[in-house]
Structures are given as C-alpha cells and as structure tokens.
Amino acid sequence: MADLSRLSLNTATVKEQWSLAECIEGCARHGIPGIAPWRDKLHDYGLELAVKHIRDTGLKLSGLCRGGMFPAADEAGRQAALADNRLAVDEAKALDAACLVLVVGGLPEGSKDIAGARQQVRDGIAATLEYARTVGMPLAIEPLHPMYAADRACVNTMAQANDLCDELGEGLGVAVDVYHVWWDPDLEAQIARAGKNVLAFHTCDWLVPTTDLLLDRGMMGDGVIDIPQIRGWVEQTGFEGACEVEIFSADNWWRKDADEVLGTVKDRHLKFV
C-alpha cells in the first residue's frame, strides 16, 4: 500500500504561488515529509532562516536544485560557474540535502560544438566533485530530455550520466526524472547499471500534446508515462529516497491555488506513482 512517507515537494511545482517559507509551511500542513527547494527561492529567504525553518518542521530535503551550468564561452565564465557550484554544495550541506542536483548546462553562446560542451561538463563536474567530497555532499547528475541539449543540459541519457559516474567515481550519482528519461529504450538496463548511484527520483507526467518545451509538464496520471514501472526499476536498485514531484506548468498548475495543487499531488502520488 502506497503512502505519503516517501513524498517530497519540489518547490518549482508551486513556483508562481509560494515563497520557500510558504512551501515549508505548506508541506508541514499537508503532511508531505520532503521538500526540494530551488536556490533562487532559498536566496530570497536567506540560508540561515531556511535551515532553521526546515529543521523546526522536521522536513527532509530530497535534494537542492540546482548546481551545474558548467559550459561557458570563456574561462572566466567557467570559473564563475565553478565558484557558484561550490556555494551550492555549501548550501546543500547546510540544509542537510540528500544531494545537490546538477543540471549540467548546454552549448555556450554561439557554439555548435556539443562534444566540446560535454567535455566542459565533465571537467566542471570533476572539479565540483573534488570539493563536494571534502564536505560530504553527494552530487546527482540529472540527465535532461534531449530537447534541452542545446540550452539546458547536454547530458541527455542515463547512459551518459552512468559513464560520468564510472569515470569520476565516489560521491557522484544520478537523479532519475521520469519526464526526461521515460522514452529511453535502454532505461531499465541503465537504471540497473546505476545501482546505488541513484540519488534522486523525480515524478510528473508527459502530456499529449505538450504545448511548450519547458513549461507544460503534467501532473502524475495526466500523461503517458508508466511511472510505477520506472519507480519499480529505481527501487530495485535499493533506492529508499523520496518520490519528488517537480512540475513546471505555466498555464495550469502554476495558476491554481497552491493548497489545491498540494492536495492533488498527494492524491496522484497515491494513485499513479
């Protein structure tokens, strides 16, 4: 019997409605035990206040969103990204997050060299990992759907993420988001291959039709993803972390009352995850 004990709310799901403080209160009020904040809302609130508030409510962080965005057109840009990633590692540690999620970044401005961008991503992760190990914060590469290869993340399959984990080693893992990977014919095998490296599991749904590349994700059950099947594969690795709901939905869920959204999240988590 499914229950809510594994549920976590990624704050992007009510991005337009609530501040981080309101998200924390909302999760506590709705009996959702996990939360995954985005750093922009974290910075709006202030790290120390957020740490205290989260500790007081007993919420667990299934992840901090996000580090990454490593490629840049010049060395100054790459160094700035590394500095920001070290800061993100520190914030994740202060919040006792299960992991820092990495959205690795796409092509630098004006570039068509995706192999080069992937090399920059590899180097950026390696440098960040070196620091993250010193503070004991796991990094989770989130492979993003191939439609984001140019502008958001050039790691687009579980296989690529697993290859990076194999190469770079201890402290590095993968965030499996059903939206990004559901189409992959190699998904079951690559989740099994990831094994203990699965650090996060994100849910939402793929709508048919999808009207926007970024902001038209569906609520679980409204689309075509067989979420329980993927959850099964993830849990066969031994993963005992949260099912983190993350829905970007400019024209639908972001326009609804946030308490109603959280009610629906709970209902759909029980029925479709």
Q: Interface with a second copy by CB under 8 A: which residues?
A: 107, 111-114, 118, 145-147, 149-151, 154, 156-157, 159-160, 182-186, 206, 208-211, 213, 223-226
Residue 231 CB, nearest approach to a second copy (Å): 13
Which of 85/157 has CB closer to a second copy?
Answer: 157
Q: In terms of CB distance, is 65 or 181 closer to a second copy?
A: 181
Smallest separation (angstroms) from a second copy to the CB of 48:
37
Minimum CB distance to a second copy, residue 107 (Å): 6
Closer of 26 and 71 to a second copy (Cβ): 71
- 3-state per-residue secondary structure call for the chain: CCCCCCEEEEHHHHCCCCCHHHHHHHHHHHCCCEEECEHHHHHHHCHHHHHHHHHHHCCEECCEEEEECCCCCCHHHHHHHHHHHHHHHHHHHHCCCCCEEEECECCCCCCCCHHHHHHHHHHHHHHHHHHHHHHCCCEEECCCCHHHCCCCECCCCHHHHHHHHHHHCCCEEEEEEHHHHCCCCCHHHHHHHHHHHEEEEEECECCCCCCCCCCECECCCCCCCCHHHHHHHHHHCCCCCCEEECCCECCCHHHCCHHHHHHHHHHHHHHHC
Q: How many CB atoms lie within 10 A of CB 246?
A: 26
Question: Rounded to an integer, what distance in angstroms lies between the CA atom of residue 42 and that of residue 115?
Answer: 33
Q: Taking the complex as a whole, how short is the minimal distance between the CB of residue 106 and a second copy, in angstroms?
A: 8
Q: Pick the closer one to a second copy by CB: 94 or 159.
A: 159
Minimum distance from CB of 38 to a second copy (Å)? Answer: 20
CB of 83 or CB of 183, closer to a second copy: 183
**Min separation Cβ 208 and a second copy, Å:** 5
Q: Which is nearer to a second copy, 73 or 213 (CB)?
A: 213
